[in-house]
A and B are shown apart, each in its own frame.
Chain A
Amino acid sequence: MLTETLRECDWIPVTEAGNIPPREGRSLCLNGKELAVFNLNGRFLTIDNHCPHKGGPLCDGIVSGTAVVCPLHGRRFDLETGLPVRADDETSLATYPTRMEGGVIYIGFPTAQEAAGEAA
């Protein structure tokens, strides 16, 4: 998380905070990816929307603390880290830095240089 926030990001405004009710998620498409943004009582977190198990829409899942439970088969993922909560699930999900400013939610994508640096 720390490296994530220090990294240079392009912050893209996506929607008004009020559009995501507390403890619920909503999906959106950005940069060709389908993401799910969650509102953990005022703290916003973003994760890939599709469960790696069978592609279930995580934005439709019930939130449990900082985890979300996939509505199709109950896989759990931590919204802060993208890691599966049970050790026997292997695949984790990408998370995206998210912040709220002036009532608008922003999602950060690494700038072009940063992304290139990472690839190298």
Chain B
Amino acid sequence: MKQQLVVVGNGMAGVACVEQILKQPHDFDITIFGAETHVNYNRIMLSLVLAGQKSPDDIVLNGVDWYRDNNIRAKLGVRIANIDRERRVVIDQEGGETPYGKLILATGSNAFIPPIPGVDKKNVHVFRTMDDTQELLAKSRPGLKAVVIGGGLLGLEAARGLQLRGCDVTVVHLMDSLMERQLDPTGGAYLRRKIESLGIRVMLPKQTDALFGNGLVDGLRFASGEELEAELVVIAAGIRPNTELARRAGLAVGRGIVVNDHLETSDPDIFAVGECTEHNGQIFGLVAPLYEQGRVLAHAITGQRGKTFSGATPATKLKIMGVDIFSAGSIDDSEPGVESVKFEDPSQGVYKKVLLKNNRLHGVILVGDAEDEYTYTEWLRSGTDLTELRRQVLFPPRDPDPGRELADMPDSETVCGCNGVKKGDIIHAIHTHGITTLKQVKERTRASTSCGSCTGLCEKLLRAVAPDFQADTKTTLCSCFPFSYEQLRDIMRGQKLKSVEEVLAVYGNRKGCEVCKPALSYLLDMVWCGDHEEDRSARFINDRVHANIQKDGTFSVIPRMRGGVTTPDELRRIADVADKYNVPMVKVTGSQRIDLLGIKKADLPKVWADLGMSSGQAYTKGVRMVKTCVGTEFCRFGVQDSTNTGIELERRLENLFTPHKFKMGVVGCPRNCAEATVKDLGLVGQEGSWQVVVGGAAGKSVRKADLLITVETTEQALEASDLFFQYYRENANYLERSYDFVERIGIEKVRKETVYATDADKAKLLDRLARSKALAKDAWLEGAQPVNATQFVQIQPSAKTTSPEVASVC
């Protein structure tokens, strides 16, 4: 008969340990008890659920089918109250008994609630489980005054999550400095500055004496007598090993359940693993050593004692509110013989402190730049003698060949610290299972499934090793950001980020690239209706000089000619400009406008001034033009005034930016001479009505536009156009043309959310459009008022600064 193995605790450490046991030869019939009603999820990622960056389903580690496939009985929502060691049974809170042959305690830890009067008031929460998270989600709302007690890792994550939900957040910390267990006071101050710059208040040192309020919490009272208003309080004052069950069963318990190097408790048939354990006087709060415990336990319990657990070097790598933080080894520099070497760059927010003892790395703190964490981890692990490298310890030498770093990494080096996956394991998995995507790596090896900080390294490895590497389907902008468009829009709104550099600093890789910078520029413009900090360096050259760059580096100039209607005066000026600047080609475009090609950058302001016309935006992802037919004014067949309607439509939307170029057409009868049905937006005149059509294309692909709505009056047609236009601006991905957008969303949904939306929702769309329009201006005004002195000119080393012979013309 199979031996009964009972596991009390369905958290990350317990289940990971069971996974390790399943890999060993064994004869167990396994039952797992979980006090929570959820399957095993990634507790580390609860902060991302709170922040809205992951859904609860996204962070499930072992779904129901894992339990079923491995014949594991999962008893969820069942709390074990007692262990009868004599009868070898566990007893649940209902009195139900389950016999065991071997027992594993993986009871984890509880949130520590300091004994402050008033912690039992309503709207006072802890942040530890999925249920806690969901309660916080239900209560958080924009403007809510939230106070987080505790400035450690968990407290700061809770604060960030609540802030992303729009709450007005204050962090109250008992100690002099944030994250004092991982950072020294200077490092804590760097982190604090960053957090405060994001709009979270930090108050420290502050001892909370009481929470007051009548039933519901109203605020906090500090030892100093000060008070702070609060509608929601989250207590994140640390965790304590959950030892109650073990204590009641008479097992040896200190701060945690005492275990030996094989994870056995004082009863040889009872093991313990995870945050509930105490090993050599040490307790644990980070996941990596707990997975190591699970592996050792799995060997011991299956009768293969050999592997032992030898504790853990504390190493924390995390990203809090966009700040990379790495802390490893001992950070106590008061210890005799410990020297510290420091680097600070306040404007970049970078702080590094390296502690050395006997010329070997003793500890390290990195804030704002954790790129060298692998080097430091390796130095710590191997005890490398750094005598020769003393002058480089703050900036360890980096190899110019990034592939080298990977090649240099021994197979035994850990890639994923959370799940204890080594480089060799990943390579082995890639070869034996023909893995080609990151998703498969995650499924096979579990690497990068916990905190995600090794995702980049895993991907590099895949790229290097797997011949058919495929990047995971792209839902993000580019590799500079781990977020989707939707998340980015939420982040910009929630965090009130108004410049590309801020977004990159807080949520990106601080560099950005030619893909994300223009996209972020667009998103910020759209989200803030033009009221953002425009950064020209983040925009393509066309949008820096308001003309279209050509293959020889010259530019094309297309003035606005609304509805394709011009005047003799305009034509004369165009002709004069063409003569004066020796324009090599003057061309009528497909958009009923005139293009002057081959203009030098330096001539652009003069050309615009001479033209006396406004920018046709033919160089940008924005409103291009409205093509029209002559309509009722002259045409024998026209039934609607297409030219004037087209001119009006162009005026309403011109100078605005869009996810991709946006072309329109207005025709005065269904003969469709101006091809309105293959435009992003078209108005097709009929006797007594207009058809508003959207999502047409006659470019790389040809697509007949979908009918959005038929309306009676021109004013209605223009309003429907405005609605669709703003809806596309707000919901399309950057560089998504309207025809791809309409196909992706579906015309029914587009109708429902524009022309069939409630009056209130329509008013909101129109209001945002009006706000954007109010701030939009003709870009060519910059010809007379450039944004900087050299916007259009080449730098001329002047006679004042240099001798004439070197400042040559080329």
* Interface residue ranges, A against B (CB under 8 Å): 12-15, 18-24, 26-34, 37, 54-57, 60-65, 69, 71-72, 74, 81, 104
B513 at the interface (CB under 8 A from A): yes
The answer to whether B517 touches A60, judged by C-beta atoms less than 8 angstroms apart, is no
Is the pair B517, A15 in contact by a Cβ cutoff of 8 Å?
A: no
Query: What are 5 sample pairs from A and B whose C-beta atoms fall under 8 A apart?
Result: A12-B802, A23-B537, A24-B536, A34-B810, A72-B553
Measured CA separation A20–B512 after assembly (Å): 19
Q: Considering only CB atoms, which chain A residue lies closest to B790 in the complex?
A: A19
Q: Which residue of A lies closest to B348 (CB)?
A: A41
B754 CB, nearest partner CB in chain A, Å:
34
B795→A15 contact, CB < 8 A: yes
A55, B511: Cα distance in complex, Å: 25
Q: Is the beta-carbon distance between A29 and B537 smaller than 8 angstroms?
A: no
Q: Does B538 contact A (CB under 8 A)?
A: yes
Docked complex Cα distance between A37 and B798 (Å): 16
Contact check: which of A21, A29, A54, A74 meets B536 at CB < 8 Å? Answer: A21
Q: Are B809 and A54 touching (Cβ within 8 A)? A: no
Q: Which residues of B contact A (CB under 8 A)?
A: 400, 511-514, 517-518, 535-541, 544, 549, 551-553, 788-790, 794-798, 801-802, 806-810
Verify A62–B806 contact, CB threshold 8 A.
Answer: no
Given known A-B contacts A27-B794, A57-B553, A74-B514, A15 and B801 have beta carbons under 8 A apart = yes
Q: Which residue of B lies closest to A13 (CB)?
A: B801
Give the complex CA separation of A12 and B537 in angstroms: 26
Q: A69's closest neighbor in chain B, by CB?
A: B514
**Which residue of A has the minimal Cβ distance to B796?**
A28
A26 to B601, CA, bound (A): 12
The residues of B that contact A14 with a CB separation of less than 8 Å are 795, 797, 801-802
**Whole-angstrom distance from the CB of A63 to the nearest CB of chain B?**
7
Question: Of A30, A74, A104, which is within 8 A of B806 by CB?
Answer: A30
Contact between chains at B537 and A62 (CB < 8 Å): yes
Name the residue of chain A whose CB is nearest to the CB of B810: A29
Q: Give the Cβ gap from A59 to chain B, nearest Cβ, in Å.
A: 8
Pick the contact of B789: A12, A19, A54 (CB < 8 A).
A19
Which chain B residues lie closer than 8 Å to A69 at the CB level?
A: 513-514
Quick one: which of B511, B541, B549, B810 contacts A64, CB cutoff 8 A?
Answer: B511
Whether the pair B540, A20 counts as a contact (CB closer than 8 A) is: no
B551 touches A54 (CB 8 A): yes
Residues from chain A with a CB closer than 8 A to the CB of B553 are 55-57, 60, 72
CB nearest to A83 among chain B residues: B400
Task: Using A64-B514, A71-B541 as known contacts, say yes or no to A29 and B802 having CB atoms under 8 A apart.
Answer: no
Q: A29 near B549 (CB under 8 angstroms)? A: no
**Contact of B807 (CB < 8 Å), options: A22, A24, A30:** A30
Residues A31 and B806 in contact in the complex (CB < 8 Å), given A13-B801, A104-B801: yes
Query: Cβ of A29 and Cβ of B790 under 8 Å apart?
Result: no
Question: Do A37 and B797 have beta carbons less than 8 Å apart?
Answer: no
Known contacts A14-B797, A20-B795, then 7 further A-B pairs from the complex at CB < 8 Å, ordered by chain A residue: A28-B797, A57-B553, A62-B517, A62-B540, A63-B537, A65-B511, A72-B553
Contact indicator B795/A27 (Cβ below 8 Å) = yes
B551 to chain A, nearest CB (A): 7
> Which of A28, A31, A32 makes the CB contact (< 8 A) with B794?
A28
Do B538 and A62 touch (CB < 8 A)? yes
Residues of B within 8 A of A81 (CB): 400
Give every chain B residue within 8 A of A26 (Cβ-Cβ). 790, 794-795
Task: Identify which of A24, A34, A71 contacts B549 (C-beta below 8 A).
Answer: A71
* Bound CA span A26–B545, Å: 13
Chain B residues whose CB sits within 8 angstroms of the CB of A61 once the complex forms = 514, 541
Chain B residue at smallest Cβ distance from A15: B795
Assembly CA distance A69 to B518 (angstroms): 13
Q: Which residue from chain B places its CB closest to the CB of A28 in the assembled complex?
A: B795
Provide the bound-state CA to CA distance between A14 and B810, in Å: 15
Q: Are A30 and B797 neighbours in the complex by a CB distance under 8 Å?
A: yes
Contact B541 A60 (CB under 8 A): yes
Question: Please, which residues of chain B bring their CB within 8 A of the CB of A32?
Answer: 808, 810
- Contact at B801–A64, with CB atoms within 8 Å? no
**Complex: how many Å from CA A14 to CA B540?**
26
In the complex, which residues of chain A have a beta carbon less than 8 angstroms from the beta carbon of B541? 60-61, 71
Given contacts A13-B801, A64-B513, contact A21 B788 (CB under 8 A): yes
Q: How far is the CA of A56 from the CA of B798 in the complex (A)?
A: 25
CA distance A15 to B539 in the complex (A): 24
Residues of B within 8 A of A28 (CB): 794-797
**Given that A13-B797, A28-B796 are known contacts, is A64 also in contact with B802, CB under 8 Å in the complex?**
no
Give Cα A74–Cα B513 distance, bound, in whole angstroms.
Answer: 11
Q: In the docked arrangement, what's the CA distance between A24 and B537, Å? A: 5
Residue from A18, A21, A33, A37 within 8 A of B810 (CB atoms) = A33
In the complex, which residues of chain A have a beta carbon less than 8 angstroms from the beta carbon of B801?
13-15, 104
Separation of A72 and B512 alpha carbons in the complex (Å)? 19
Contact of B544 among A15, A30, A60 (CB under 8 A): A60
A31 to B797, CA, bound (A): 11
**Lowest 8 A-B CB distances belong to which pairs?**
A23-B537, A65-B511, A60-B541, A28-B795, A13-B801, A64-B513, A69-B514, A29-B810
Chain B: minimal CB distance from A110 (Å): 14
How distant is the Cα of A73 from the Cα of B189 in the complex, in angstroms?
44
Q: How far is the CB of A82 from chain B (nearest CB, A)?
A: 13
For A30, the chain B residues whose CB sits under 8 A away are: 797, 806-808
B787 to A, closest residue via Cβ: A21
Residues of B contacting A104 with CB < 8 Å? 801
Chain A residues with CB below 8 A from B808, complex form: 29-32
Q: In the complex, which residues of chain B have a beta carbon less than 8 angstroms from the beta carbon of A72?
A: 549, 551, 553
A27→B810 CA distance, assembly (Å): 11
Once bound together, how far apart are the Cα atoms of A37 and B789, in whole Å? 15
| Bound CA span A28–B794, Å | 6
- What chain A residues lie within 8 Å of B797 (beta carbons)? 12-15, 28-30
In chain A, what residue has the closest Cβ to B539? A62
Which residues does chain B contribute within 8 Å of A22, judged by CB atoms? 537
List, in ascending order, chain A residues with CB within 8 A of B536's CB. Answer: 21, 24
In the complex where A14-B801, A14-B802, A24-B537 touch, is A19 in contact with B810 (Cβ < 8 A)?
Answer: no
Could you tell me the distance in whole angstroms from the C-beta of B597 to the nearest C-beta in chain A? 16
Instruction: Determine the distance from Cα of A19 to Cα of B512 in the docked complex, in whole angstroms.
Output: 23
With a CB–CB cut-off of 8 A, which chain A residues contact B790?
Answer: 19-21, 26
* CA–CA, A30 and B810, complex, Å: 8
Alpha-carbon separation in the docked complex, A26 to B795 (Å):
7
Residues in B whose Cβ lies below 8 Å from that of A31: 806, 808
**Which residue of A has the minimal Cβ distance to B794?**
A27
Residue of chain A at shortest CB distance from B550: A72
Q: Within the complex, what minimum Cβ distance (angstroms) separates B547 from chain A?
A: 11
The distance in angstroms between the C-alpha atoms of A10 and B63, with both chains bound, is 69
Whether the Cβ atoms of B514 and A60 lie closer than 8 Å is: no
B478 to chain A, nearest CB (A): 10
